[in-house]
Amino acid sequence: MSTLSEFDIISLLNTRSSSPQLIRGIGDDAAVFGNPKDPLKWVITQDLLSEDIHFRLKWISPADLAYKSIAVNLSDLAAMGATPKFVLLSMGIPKTIPDSFIRRFSRAFLKTCHDQEIILIGGDTCDSQNGLWIQVTALGQAPARQILYRHGATPGDLIFISGPLGASSLGLHLLTKKKRSALAKRHHRPPIRTAFAQALAKRGFASAMTDISDGFLFNLETMCGTTLCAAIDVDRLPIDALTQREANRHTIDPLPFALGGGEDYELLFTVPPKKAPAFKRWCHAHHYTAHELGQMSKHSPRRHSPVRLFTASGEELPTKGLVKGYVAR
Ligand code: ADP
Ligand code: MG
């Protein structure tokens, strides 16, 4: 039984090989490649959804599973500021899955492709002895100068999030506790922020971007890397009315879900302070949501986490003990 974490394994595979066509390999939300003479680049990403790790068949409908398998990939393309174009779909299907499930899944998959203006161009299909697994590869395009990377921020940049946090992981938590809740839908049908990401990348307001798949704290730490620190005002974290209501109903504090829970699939990005006033006017004019949460600074090597949490009154909250990252339950 392997004791290596997902991140240990990725670092074992992280190659230093290069190619004139390769602009970004392992380490960002998606890889970027293209002909050096062509200003338009390809952006490619892949996500695997595995039964009982990423979804439970007793909780998710075939239509929602199809939608989510595309949404999680388009979120990584959005995080790069790319326009999605094509997808490939591979499925491992156990004998126990009824035909009606596969028919419904396929219909919903094609409908989501149509709605998102992407085309299914290939994939693979095989039997599975160990549950259903769905793997989607998504390809998009973007002009090289518009592509946003995780590590583009500099000290002083302001930190923004494109929408509410915590709904998906609280929805999952309530499912595991057998509690009926409208938040289950938020877990199964995350937002797809393509339109906002494209517009943001085109206007050149952002300096760095990633998506919230593994949890706000975890993804913010990856944005900080080894050179930056982030100070966050927790009282500004957007927890929407439904999440707050469901949390109150079950006497649960939603803050750890907003900070640590994953799969919100909102965009986390930074904007240099000089561009911030124009960015905020642009959001207002186009009815885009962007919550300002804090600021990047130079990394202080004494701290164990590059992220520091403060209340509006300036009190610092400990990050120690908070579960960071999406934990498959
Ligand atoms: P995300 O959450 O944005 O999908 P991940 O945390 O899953 O990103 O992956 C981080 C980086 O590691 C990405 O660049 C991804 O392509 C790469 N990666 C993950 N698993 C593998 C693997 N088995 N082989 C090569 N690269 C991988
Ligand atoms: Mg990502």
Q: Is 13 in the pocket of ligand 1 (CB under 6 A)?
A: yes
Q: What is the pLDDT of residue 17?
A: 86
Query: Ligand 1 mean position to 13 CA, how many Å?
Result: 10
Q: Which residue's CA is the nearest one to ligand 1's atom 22?
A: 10
Q: What is the pLDDT of residue 79?
A: 98
**Which tens digits make up the pLDDT trace of 165-220?**
999 999 999 999 999 899 999 999 999 999 999 999 999 999 999 999 999 999 99
- Quickly state the pLDDT bin for 124 (edges 50, 70, 90): very high
Q: How far apart are CA 92 and CA 326, in angstroms?
A: 24
* Average pLDDT of span 265-290: 98
What type of residue is 72? V
pTM comes to 0.96
Q: What is the pLDDT of residue 290?
A: 98
**Which tens digits make up the pLDDT trace of 223-260?**
999 999 999 999 999 999 999 999 999 999 999 999 99
**Which tens digits make up the pLDDT trace of 64-112?**
999 999 999 999 999 999 999 999 999 999 999 999 999 999 999 999 9
Q: Which residue's CA is the nearest one to ligand 1's atom 15?
A: 26
How much of the chain, in percent, has pLDDT values that exceed 70? 97
Query: Ligand 1 mean position to 26 CA, how many Å?
Result: 6
- Quickly state the pLDDT bin for 305 (edges 50, 70, 90): confident
Q: What is the pLDDT of residue 329?
A: 36
Q: Is 27 in the pocket of ligand 1 (CB under 6 A)?
A: yes
* Average pLDDT of span 1-10: 87
Name the CA radius of gyration of the chain, rounded: 20
- Flag whether pLDDT at 44 surpasses 90: yes
Q: Which residues contact 32 (CB under 8 A, 6 or more apart)?
A: 22, 23, 24, 41, 42, 43, 44, 80, 144, 147
Find the angle CA(154)-CA(155)-CA(157) to the nearest 5 degrees.
75
- Flag whether pLDDT at 49 surpasses 90: yes
- Of 113, 134, 71, the closest CA to residue 266 belongs to 71
- Flag whether pLDDT at 323 surpasses 90: no
* Average pLDDT of span 27-46: 97
CB atoms within 10 A of CB 288: 17
Residues lining ligand 2 (ion), CB within 5 A?
A: 29, 76, 211, 213
Q: How far apart are CA 306 and CA 64, in angstroms?
A: 36
Q: What is the pLDDT of residue 324?
A: 60
Most ligand 1 atoms within 8 A of CB, residue of 6, 22, 23, 26 to mutate: 26
Atom of ligand 1 nearest to the CA of 47: 4
Both structure tokens of 264: 């919100």
How much of the chain, in percent, has pLDDT values that exceed 90? 89
Q: Please answer whether residues 120 and 108 qualify as being in contact, where contact means their C-beta atoms are separated by less than 8 angstroms.
A: no
Cα separations (Å) of 209 from 23, 48, 219? 17, 22, 10
Q: What is the pLDDT of residue 319?
A: 81
Task: Please tell me the number of the ligand nearest to residue 9's CA.
Answer: 1
Q: Is 213 in the pocket of ligand 1 (CB under 6 A)?
A: yes
Q: How far is CA 163 from the centre of its chain?
A: 12
Average pLDDT for the chain: 95
